[in-house]
Structure formats: C-alpha cells, structure tokens
Amino acid sequence: MMSPARSLGDHLREWRQRRRLSQLEFALEAEISQRHLSFLESGRALPSREMLMHLAERLGIPLRERNPMLLAAGFAPVFPERKLDDPALAPARRAIDMLLKGHEPFPALAVDRHWTLVAANAAIAPLLAGVADPSLTEGPINVLRLSLHPQGLASRIANLSEWRAHLLKRLRQQISATGDPVLIRLLEELSAYPAPAASRSTAPDRDFTGIAVPLELDTVAGQLSFLSTTTVFGTPVDVTLSELAIESFFPANPQTAEALKAMLPGR
C-alpha cells in the first residue's frame, strides 16, 4: 500500500523543526507573520513559488528536497539532476578536473553527497597502496568507509582517534542538515568499527592552535601529515553540483611536502 503524499505544510514543519526553530522564530527570520506561516503549515494557505523558494532558502533546505516541496505546492520542479558526465555539466566537470590536477603533487578528490568517490588526482593512488581489503578500493568507493575501516586506511592513520572523531562529527553535521537516511546508516556502520588505539603521531610542530585537525598517515615514505580543506560550488542550480565537494589535502610540514613531490616526479 502506497503511503499518502506529504503536504507542503508537512515539508515546511519538518524542516523548521529540524532547524530547531519555533513558528515565531522562523517567521521573524523569513520576515513574514507567524499567522501566515501557521496557515502555510496547516494547509489553510498556499505560497507563491517565489515565497516558497524564499522559505526554502531561509531554512537552508538542500536543492534535492526543494523539488518535492514545489510539487506538493502544485509547481513544477526547477532544479535538474544530471549525471556528472552529462554534456550540460561539461564546464563544471572541466573545473573539477582542473582543480584536482592543479593541486598535484598534493592529494585531492571529489565526493558526492554520500561520500562516494567521483574523481581523484594522481597523488591519491600512492597513499592507498597496500590497503588490506581490496574491495574497499573497488568502485563505488566510499571515502569514509575506506578511511575508517579496520582493513582500510585506519591501521595506517597514526592519530586515528582524533581523525575518526573529526570525520564522524562532519558526518553528524551533514545528517543534521539533510536528514539523509543513507548517511544515517553509514554513521551507524562507521561508529561500530573497533575503537582506535592510542596515537602514534611523530609529526613535528603539530600544534595547529585549534584551527584544524591533521591527518597523519603512515606511508612507505614515512609518516605524512596533512591539513584538509573542502570546496563546494558557490551558487549551484543543479542538484548534482550542489552535492559535490572537493577535498584538498595540504602538507602540514616541509617533510610531507618533499615526500609528496618525490612520489610524483615531474610535478
């Protein structure tokens, strides 16, 4: 038996509550009356498309979830979802490839909303050499699973406890923002992995005064230390692009920088 379609009011109320806002707080944030918002949530009134988009923006609703809201209000979806190899996304794909290539000899990769690997530069492969379970590096590759699985990179991450806490915190924040059930199941899986051992960090000058959590990885070139940044498209109007993130790793010390340059000669 099919479940009944959710009303627009259901969508608005769920996202408002997910953001931990009362009707009054959200009405003030959206610059509308609480009475009007109450009517929208109860179904006694329907917004214009412009008003609906305004409310969705104020609530920070992901583009993927805005299309069902538009449909519930009687409007056509406005945000397309295309595969990354779609000709329409060719300029974006070129930009991603340029960013990844331009970051060499330092590692960088692109992931989708579920942390599935989309693309990577040549500096990633040497860091994955020797992964105990080959299935973790066969497509589709989940970057978080590969990082924290006992047969993945976990045994080679010197500060695993610290790095694991950092990744799980990011994942929880993503779940809070999206409510994605796939990410909820991923968090449950990753949280069940064995507790990490004490840190084996030997990195010099690792005091980053609270601004970042380093990744310290044991490799054939010794223990390498990285700081990471995340890049997203600033104003995407395509669902796929809105969910892509580029993770770039920078050497946290001169020794790491020199080791990475040696791994990719000619760069």
Over range 160-184, report the average pLDDT: 94
Over range 214-233, report the average pLDDT: 94
Q: What's the pLDDT score for residue 201?
A: 66
244 pLDDT above the threshold of 70: yes
Over range 138-160, report the average pLDDT: 94
Over range 110-125, report the average pLDDT: 96
Task: Express as a percent the part of the chain with pLDDT over 90.
Answer: 84
Q: How far apart are CA 43 and CA 61, in angstroms?
A: 20
| Closest C-alpha to 179, from 26, 17, 42, 21 | 17
- Listed in sequence order, the DSSP H helices in the chain are 8-18, 23-30, 34-42, 49-59, 63-72, 90-102, 125-128, 143-148, 160-178, 181-191, 239-242, 254-263
Contact 197, 163 (CB under 8 A): no
Q: What's the pLDDT score for residue 92?
A: 94
Strand order in the sheet with 245-251: 117-120, 108-111, 245-251, 222-231, 215-219
Task: Express as a percent the part of the chain with pLDDT over 70.
Answer: 93
Please identify which residue in the block is written with the tokens 């066969």.
138
Report residue 250: phi and psi, to 5°.
-115, 145
Confidence of residue 267 (pLDDT cuts 50, 70, 90): low
Q: What's the pLDDT score for residue 5?
A: 73
Over range 47-70, report the average pLDDT: 96
Over range 4-18, report the average pLDDT: 91
Q: How far apart are CA 206 and CA 144, in angstroms?
A: 23
Over range 123-152, report the average pLDDT: 93
Q: What's the pLDDT score for residue 1?
A: 39
174 pLDDT above the threshold of 60: yes
Contact 124, 147 (CB under 8 A): no
Please identify which residue in the block is written with the tokens 């806490």.
165
Torsion of CA 158, 159, 160, 163, to 10 degrees: -130
Report all structural domains of the chain as residue ranges with CATH numbers, in order of start.
8-72 (1.10.260.40), 87-263 (3.30.450.180)
For 75-114, the pLDDT digits (tens) are 999 999 999 999 999 999 999 999 999 999 999 999 999 9
Q: What's the pLDDT score for residue 3?
A: 42
205 pLDDT above the threshold of 70: no
Measured between its terminal Cα atoms, the distance across the chain in Å is 59
Structure letter (DSSP) for residue 6: P
Q: What's the pLDDT score for residue 209?
A: 52
Structure letter (DSSP) for residue 112: -
Please identify which residue in the block is written with the tokens 């992931």.
111
Residues in CB range of 235: below 8 A, 6 or more apart: none
Q: What is the mean pLDDT of the chain?
A: 92
Q: What's the pLDDT score for residue 6?
A: 87
22 pLDDT above the threshold of 80: yes
Structure letter (DSSP) for residue 115: -
Burial code (b: 16+ CB inside 10 Å, e: under 16) for 162-189 equals bbbebbeeebeebbeebebeebeebbee
170 pLDDT above the threshold of 60: yes
2 pLDDT above the threshold of 50: no
